[in-house]
Structure 1
Amino acid sequence: MATPDAYETLLDEYKRASNVSSASGVLSWDQQVTMPEGGTPARSKQLSTLSAVHHDIITGDTVADALAELEDADLTPEQAASVREIRREHERASAVPRDLVEQLSEASSDALPAWEQAREDDDFDHFAPHLETLVELRREYANEIDPDADPYAVLFADYEPYLDLSKAEAVLEELRDRLVPLVAAIQASDADLATPFDGEYSPEKQESVSRDLLDDLGYDWDRGRLDTSSHPFTSGNQFDTRITTRFQPEDPLDSIMSTVHEYGHAQYNLGLPREAFGTPLGDSRDLTVHESQSRFWENHVGRSEAFWDRHAGTLADAFDDDLSARDVYEAANQVYPDNLIRVEADELTYHMHIILRFELERDLISGDLAVEDVPEAWNEKMEEYLDVTPETDSEGCLQDIHWSHGNFGYFPTYSLGSVLAAQLDHTMREDLDVDALVRNGDFAAIREWLGERIHQHGQRYTTPELVEEATGEAFTADYFLDYAESKYEALYDL
């Protein structure tokens, strides 16, 4: 029987490793937001060193000995969950050599500015050597963890450890089978949805609107901030979570939806138990659950008619435009199959973008697709799934930041998160009049519901367990598909 000391020792070591990761997160945020362009060589070394320190702590004898002592211990459910999560991280990290961890960190840090320059110059060849290096390193990483497994499945488990890749594939296939005919029906319809935005909208006015919306949603500025970056993202923990957005002069809804999306990520982080900071019980579950929070706020709140009943006037005042709530609602929900950019895609065709990326990166990792052939393969799949071909690689295979981070296996969680968001929304509406709360600006009630069902648990439950705990049902795509068909059939008079 283990003594309580082993558990306390394990948590102390894990907290040290968590603090190192938090520090790396701040340096990564700085690199993408405020760091001078010339800072990359030093930043790459800094992040590489911190990755190695984290690896050394997690794989060290102190953690290994404590886990061994706790193997058959009589633990509380909360303690058992923490040990489960730390053991999983320890076993995966121990399989990967320290020098490979450093190589991956340095390679991804070097790749980021190369990707940014390549996208700006529409020059895939500038980024290709970095992508080649990251693909090779990630293959090696997967092989070290489990040489007998599908390497892409190993990488996917870094982001979604408790839903099998086969489940993700089944969900993506179900979305494709139901959404493709829905999009086709929308294209064939005679509906003429409003397009009220015409002209250019200054970044200053757009930022003012974003801040007003964050104020109304209840963003805690004492623990957060809003900045701009080339690709919107969220970074932080329950004490300090920062979000970024970007501004398109001709499309103010792009920055608004990005801001509301990132607010959802931030609210999850800020809602985690403060007393459990640095432990698995104080960390978010995984990317499927994280994405469900951002997709809930973006799609089920930010794209709702109730939200624009409340905030069309906010936009009208900021932009000096005559904007009705219905017009903005229709503009926020228009379906554009020919949209080239994932983060600007509508709620339906977005998932075709995810399927495309999933298939390409899986072929990259398996070796069935060479890096040099990525632009051509990308364009072929864009034509197949969305009936449009990018004219430039900047609008095509260079548009996303994820591969510059070496994040292969990440993309499926976007669709999985959207599916879970709809399931949570369905359950929430059994308890709350969500539209009335949104229309009246009573977002606290919504935050509290999500806090009780999702945020407060940290990593106590696995993903399937958490979904059951929050909704009373197993994870399913049914609610998303029903929601999508009902909403868009009404919008387009189908």
Structure 2
Amino acid sequence: MATEAAAENAAYEELLDNVKRISNVKNAAGILGWDQEVVMPEGGTPARSQQRSALSAIAHELLTDDEMGELLDELESQDLDDEQTAVVREVRREYERATRVPGELVEEISRTTSEALPQWKEAKAEDDFSIFAPTLEKLVEQKREYAEHIDPDKDPYEVLFADYEPYLGIETAEEMLTRLRDELVPLIDSIRESDVELAAPFDGTYDTDTQEQLSRDILDTLGYDWNRGRLDTAPHPFSSGTQFDARVTTRFDESDPLGAMMSTIHEFGHATYTQGLPDEEYGTPLGQSRDLTAHESQSRIWENHVGRSRAFWERFLPALKERFPDVEDASVEDIYKAVNRVYEDNLIRVEADELTYHMHIVVRFEIEKALIRGEIEVEDVPELWNDKYEEYLGIRPDTDSEGCLQDIHWSHGSFGYFPTYSLGSVLAAQLYAKAEEDIPDLEDQIRNGEFDEFHDWLTSNVHQHGCLYTTDELIEVATGEEFTADYFLNYANEKYSELYDLE
């Protein structure tokens, strides 16, 4: 691929060497981050914050070195092939943003986020926003400063959003979220007015050790590569790593085994994308995932279009009954309805159904946008959060833990991240529609537990491209169309109209 094609291009080879060095430093920092969230002892934070801060500084120094700018300038004037052009484009973009941000600020942000994690955990455990508020205020100030350095003439939230989705643009996110809000709310209202109730077949206690075995059964069924991954637990489920080491975490609730199963499938989607990146391009943009809209599309395509399908439960229900014999009487239809129930009172985003999920995103999007723009203060967040939940979801959190403290993202300084969850869900439906067109018996394959062809389709059309294409280009290459919410909204209306007997 690109490395071989550039064998005689000394400048390009030197650029690749530098980029790989930066990637390895960042990947090492990623492992430290995983360790901090999963297994690090609580007392390890002071040292860990310094370690991660040092690695962030090293990566920043390597990226902003004058030599990088000189190599990029030299390569801009050369006749490059498509892969080389993509690598230069991606490195140029990172270089230009990074050179505008002082290294001291990069270190400060890294140190603050390391220290923020245990404070967020404590605040959530104690149900006390005031424990986390001072650090959140500090992070907001630091991220505003970061955005101002990158582009003082732009909306700071738009600058931060581009860290997670650099090519679709904030206008696309706002338009998509507005359309989802406008078209899903009437559907949700119709469901709540219907006489149909989709009750869950679980009523009891389901021990977490058995739930973990069930999660491992799911990963086996879907085709997770255990040689390049592992399963652990975390307060907030996530997946991280590289194509050689893509790790999954989940969490368990003794009263809700379906929650852990769906969380595991979701994180598997992220991990299988990472595992599907080309090995030979490790450390270069061609061996890295295409930002968070594409990444989230992979978790949502597996969670929603596979994991919430009748076909999947026709395959997997026997394994569930084997692990938990007290659900022996449950039918495929029972489980199918349970995993697709639209909740009237769910406060937790990661446990939300496919429809109200997007209202959770709208709440977070509107609040963090106002925070970064200075339209509200940190102290306003809990009350505003509760007001918006009441407005968009018809429910009001009783505690901060089930309200504004439920997500981990702000403790990472990840402002601008949330819209990509909805963008990814929309893209998942568009990709799945194309996959069904290309694999006519896809549903039968899922029913039979045969996932190889679907894996291959996703790898060929999404994973193996790395960052060769921009997000909008990748969508057109994979689906033959521009990005659209039509597929998701058609899918949602058809599926839930059938489930709830809507006219």
TM more than 0.5: yes
Contact 1:354 1:414 (8 Å CA) reproduced: yes
> Which residue does the alignment assign to 1:43?
48
Partner in structure 1 of residue 219 of structure 2: 214
Note the C-alpha offset of 1:192.
2.4
Measure the CA separation in 1 of the matches of 2:418 and 2:69.
32
Equivalent position of 1:440 in the other structure: 448
Distance, in Å, in 2 between the alignment partners of 1:353 and 1:72 is 47
- Output the CA distance in 1 between the equivalents of 2:437 and 2:406: 39
Match of residue 431 from structure 1? 438
Which whole-Å CA distance do the structure 1 matches of 2:310 and 2:350 have between them?
21
Q: Which of 460, 467, 489 in structure 2 is aligned with 1:459?
A: 467
The code of the aligned residue for 1:191 comes to V
Counterpart of 1:483, as a letter, is: Y
Q: Which amino acid aligns with 2:390?
A: E
Asked if 1:348 is matched to 2:381, the reply is no
Q: Is the 8 A contact 1:360 1:378 kept in 2?
A: yes
What amino acid is the match of 2:126? D
Partners of 2:200 and 2:96 in 1: CA distance:
53
AA partner of residue 234 (structure 2): S
Runs of 4+ in 1 over 3 A off after TM superposition: none
- Structure 2 residue 76 is matched with structure 1 residue 76: no
Q: How many aligned positions are there?
A: 493
Question: Given that residues 13 and 62 in structure 1 are in contact (C-alpha distance below 8 angstroms), is that contact kept between their aligned partners in structure 2?
Answer: no
d(CA) in 2 for partners of 1:387, 1:445:
42
Q: Deviations over 1:31-81 (max 9, x none)?
A: 000000000000000000000000001100221110011121100000000
Distance 1:133 1:221 in 2: 39
Match for residue 127 of structure 1?
A: 132
Alignment partners' CA distance in 2, 1:53 and 1:444: 40
Larger mean Cα displacement after TM superposition, 108-117 or 184-193: 184-193
Deviation at 1:183, TM superposition (A): 0.3
Report whether the alignment pairs 1:189 with 2:194. Answer: yes
* Alpha-carbon separation, structure 2, partners of 1:205 and 1:324: 20
Secondary structure of the residue that 1:236 maps to in structure 2? Answer: strand
Identity rate, percent? 63
For residues 295 and 344 of structure 1, the distance between their equivalents in structure 2, rounded to whole angstroms, comes to 13
Deviations 1:444-472 (A, max 9, x none): 11100000000010000000000000000
Q: Which residue matches 2:296?
A: 291
Out of 331, 337, 344, the residue aligned to residue 344 of structure 2 is 337
Tell me what 2:164 maps to. Answer: 159
Q: CA deviation at 1:194?
A: 3.4
- The residue number in structure 1 matching 2:13 is 8
> TM-score under structure 2 normalisation?
0.97
Does residue 1:479 correspond to 2:487, yes or no? yes
Aligned to 2:368: 361
Deviates more, 1:443-452 or 1:429-438: 429-438
Distance 2:353 2:319 in 1: 22
Where in structure 2 are the equivalents of 1:51-66 lying within 5 Å?
A: 51-66=56-71
Which of 123, 141, 145 is matched with 2:146 structurally?
141
- In 1, Cα distance between equivalents of 2:65 and 2:45: 30
Cα deviation 1:309-355 (Å, max 9, x = unaligned): 11111111111122211101100000003200000000100000000
In structure 1, C-alpha distance between the alignment counterparts of 2:442 and 2:116, rounded to whole Å: 43
1:382 to 2:389 alignment: yes
**Partner SS for 2:202:** coil
In the alignment, structure 2 segments of 5+ residues that lack a partner are 1-5
Give the partner amino acid of 2:393. Answer: L
Separation in structure 2 between the aligned mates of residue 427 and residue 128 of structure 1, nearest angstrom:
45
SS at match of 2:232: strand
SS in 2 for 1:393: coil
In 2, the alpha carbon distance for the partners of 1:307 and 1:317 equals 16
1:93-127 deviation per Cα after TM superposition (whole angstroms, max 9, x unaligned): 00000000000000000000000000000010000
Taking the aligned partners of 1:183 and 1:216, their CA distance within structure 2 comes to: 32
> 1:314 matched to which residue of 2?
319
Contact in 2 for aligned 1:183/1:337 (Cα 8 Å): no
